[in-house]
Amino acid sequence: MKNSKYRAATTLAIPLLAMSGMATAAEFDGVTLDAKLIGGQQYEALYARIADWEAETGASVNVISKKNHFELDKEFKSDLAAGSLGWCVGSNHSSFASQYPSLYTDLTPYLTPEFIADYVDSNIAASRIGDSLVMLPRAQFDVSALYYQKSLYEDADKQAAFKEEYGYDLTPPDTWQQVSDQAVFFSDPPNFYGTQFAGKDEAIVGRFYEMVVAEGGQLFNDDWSPAFNSEAGIRALDWFVNIYQQGAAPKGTTSYLWDELGQGFASGTIALNLDWPGWAGFFNDPESSKVAGNVGVVVQPQGSAGIRTGWSGHHGFSVTESCENKEAAASLVAFLTNEESQKLESSAGPLPTRKAVWEHVVAQAEGDAYRSEVLQAFQAAAEHAFPAPKTPYWIEATNVIYPELQAAILGDRTSAEALEVAAEAVDEMMRENGEY
């Protein structure tokens, strides 16, 4: 019998739980699990551990798709429509999970209560659809803080020039107006830009959403009718429009997603970058980043309403309802989100979702100035975190909103015109789906 530290987490069936009072592991010799996983540099270290699970269980994992969550979302929906659900394990996200009420199985029968209790309560709560635990959270709790190049703020000439032009000291920004001022000040296109932002898909809508909140508004009313066509919404969209139109962000930013942003800041050509914790280690690694040793991190800025941005969520793994080897698949998912896996992922900067790993991260950061700064910034950021709207039509809504945001940013519509068109489209979509 192969030995495994994590097998106490999984069981073959409910009767075993009832008979023994604890979960029992199983051998999975000859089992092959097809998986569809999120791709990206920051996720690869964890995937290297799959070989360890294979060696200990006798099973194998066949990764048949590795894409970003936006592309996976399209693929999952295509699979559902076609009934081609032969795969077993999928990357999931708290912002996407509510769209798939029939895709993923309840993991509760395959896990002990003690194993589940080791996750942060709020993350487990966000991993449920009703009473079903459809996802196990990995060490990828996402809320964004502001990365910046420290040397820009230590330059005496820049300090003097900024003070003369804007009337206040050049320090890392605490408001989005200050971000705008500083981004314009630092920009020297096409060689250097003050900031950047993800400009398409759910990414730009999420950023717009949190800016609307920071401006004192909301994206939806309680009945899920659109609420963003408002003065707060116009102020929020104007922020992106002004940054882009003043040349303070790269022209290509309207086609950027997270990988482009991470590589952009690491290239040394961006002054200020609102981004996720998973990039912290990458940005400070001299083998991957030109700004290594020059990175500062502060809590995300606040809008005119005195509210900080804080759109958040977490990554995880799920098992399909159609999977023929749910026990093996649950074992893999438990392994990829267990304490050892989360310690590995969080060592590069991502925030863990297991209680003991939070304690480990705090202890490990002692004596490391950069990691301590990162942890302090993201702990502060987490205090202001709020999830994506809990509607199964969130992604569908973002798909009709983001082209209008892009139209305003590119100058094809005013912000007011763009939001009016987007609100009408969301209203129609929600009504068609019976939301109100």
pLDDT at 47: 96
pLDDT tens digits, 372-412: 999 899 989 988 988 888 888 999 999 999 999 999 999 99
What global pTM score does this model have?
0.78
pLDDT at 130: 87
Angle at Cα 394 formed by Cα 262 and Cα 432, nearest 5°? 150
Whether residue 200 contacts residue 257, with contact meaning beta carbons closer than 8 Å, is answered with yes
pLDDT tens digits, 242-256: 999 999 999 999 999
State the angle between helix axes of 394-409 and 201-214 in degrees (0 to 180), rounded to the nearest 10: 80
pLDDT < 50: residue spans in the chain: 1-25
Q: Which of 368, 434, 433, 425 is nearest to 398 (CA)?
A: 425
Burial letters 173-191, b for 16+ CB under 10 A, else e: beebebbbbbbbbbbeeee
